[in-house]
Amino acid sequence: MNKAIIKVGIADMNIVKGQETIRTSGLGSCVGIVLYDEIIQIAGLAHIMLPKSSIGKVQNKAKFADTAISEMINRLQNEGARKSRLRAKIAGGAQMFKVSAKTELMRIGPRNIEAVKQELHSLNIPIVAQDIGGSSGRTIEFTPATKILHIRTVNLGTKKI
């Protein structure tokens, strides 16, 4: 029996329950953030592109670390999750291009990782597993019932965390 896989695009987010699986691909400098409540077997996945939203009204909250995480928490709580039970698994944030120390703006992957970690820390959500950095792209999948994050890294194979 083939189970449906919910796909999350770049600068996108979604929620799954129980045996449903959620996937995002194309995680280069982007970071995939899984927040889950294992008691009620629900999880959200956000594929963030940039660390911080600009001043003003944000059109797409899933695009930025500082807005995606709080939006995902709200959506999970609307489905019965408790913030106090949420746990995070993160992957991505690769440095896809060689840059000099002077080009801080091009260090998008490391800046995304830092922003995600800061935001989760400020919200008291522990990161229980991570596969971050490096220079290769990733595809990730998560199923709330198993709590396992499957990571496929370009030229490096697969792993579970």
Minimal CA–CA distance to 127: which of 114, 139, 138?
114
pLDDT value for 1: 44
- Catalytic residue, chosen from 16, 30, 116, 149, is 30
Topology of domain 5-160, CATH: 60s Ribosomal Protein L30; Chain: A; (3.30.1330)
pLDDT value for 104: 59
- pTM, full prediction: 0.92
Q: H or E element: which one contains 45? A: strand 42-48
The domain segmentation of the chain, as residue ranges, is 5-160
pLDDT value for 116: 97
- Mean pLDDT for each 10-residue chunk of the chain (161 residues)? 83 96 96 97 97 78 94 97 98 81 72 96 97 95 97 92 94
pLDDT value for 103: 62
Q: Which residues contact 78 (CB under 8 A, 6 or more apart)?
A: none
Rounded Cα–Cα distance for residues 26 and 116 (Å): 18
Please say if 78 is a catalytic residue.
no
Minimal CA–CA distance to 36: which of 138, 141, 133?
141
pLDDT value for 2: 52
pLDDT value for 99: 62
Minimal CA–CA distance to 67: which of 11, 133, 149, 132?
11
